[in-house]
């Protein structure tokens, strides 16, 4: 990819990101993105086949700009399952406030906008994989609750760390971000980790 092509692609993604935040929903048209980016609609279609492709690429671009891989490094290099769980909860929990405006934009139209639905589900599936990695690490340590399979434990953690739950606790209930992180770690450990096995070690 030439530097000019890469620059144009970045302009398109940055423009889409700005529109999602400013509009408050994901109902942005290709023409809106083109105008914001200062390129033609044809230029957008040279980089992306569909609007869905643009939205999916934009969510990934946000991850890149926000250095998600760097944020997740402590979790990925943790020396135990519980430590990996704590680090993942911290990394994702602190990321939610930063992506919240874009999350709201996608969620606002997810029922009637297939492109927004695909983009949202794409990123949430990536987040679920992170949850599964933490759960698998706990299982490898022999600490996963005997009441849970890896799949069920992943489902629980994934749901616990949802954007909507963060929204409910911080925006509606008035929890501070510090309180949110503290109790999410406590809850995740209490549900997923077999305390008897943990105490025996």
pLDDT, average across residues 36-50: 93
Backbone φ and ψ of 198, nearest 5°: -65, -40
CB 161 within 8 A of CB 184: yes
Mind listing the pLDDT tens digit for each residue in 48-73?
Answer: 999 999 999 999 999 999 999 999 99
CATH level 3 topology of 3-64: Arc Repressor Mutant, subunit A (1.10.10)
pLDDT in tens, 102-134: 999 889 888 988 988 999 999 999 999 999 999
Give the span between the Cα atoms of 192 and 187, in whole angstroms.
8
Q: Where along the chain do its domains lie?
A: 3-64, 67-199
Q: Which residues contact 179 (CB under 8 A, 6 or more apart)?
A: none
Say if residues 27 and 109 touch (Cβ distance below 8 Å): yes
The CATH number of 67-199, from 3.40.640.10, 1.10.260.40, 1.10.357.10, 3.40.630.10, is: 1.10.357.10
pLDDT 10s digits, 129-178: 999 999 999 999 999 999 999 999 999 999 999 999 999 999 999 999 99
Give the pTM: 0.88
Q: Are 38 and 65 in contact (CB under 8 A)?
A: no
What is the structure's pLDDT at 108?
A: 87
pLDDT of res. 11: 95
């Amino acid at each position: 990819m030439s530097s000019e092509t890469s620059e144009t692609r970045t302009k398109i993604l940055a423009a889409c990101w700005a529109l999602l935040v400013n509009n408050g929903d994901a109902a942005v048209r290709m023409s809106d993105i083109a105008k914001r980016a200062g390129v033609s609609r044809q230029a957008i279609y040279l980089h992306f086949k569909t609007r869905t492709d643009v939205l999916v690429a934009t969510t990934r671009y946000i991850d890149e700009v926000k250095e998600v891989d760097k944020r997740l490094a402590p979790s990925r290099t943790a020396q135990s399952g519980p430590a990996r769980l704590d680090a993942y909860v911290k990394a994702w929990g602190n990321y939610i406030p930063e992506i919240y405006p874009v999350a709201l934009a996608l969620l606002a139209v997810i029922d009637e906008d297939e492109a927004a639905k695909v983009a949202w589900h794409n990123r949430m599936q990536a987040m679920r994989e992170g949850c599964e990695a933490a759960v698998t690490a706990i299982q490898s340590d022999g600490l996963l609750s005997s009441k849970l399979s890896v799949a069920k434990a992943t489902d629980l953690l994934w749901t616990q760390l949802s954007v909507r739950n963060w929204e409910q606790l911080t925006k509606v209930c008035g929890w501070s971000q510090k309180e949110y992180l503290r109790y999410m770690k406590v809850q995740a450990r209490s549900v997923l980790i077999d305390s008897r096995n943990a105490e025996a070690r």
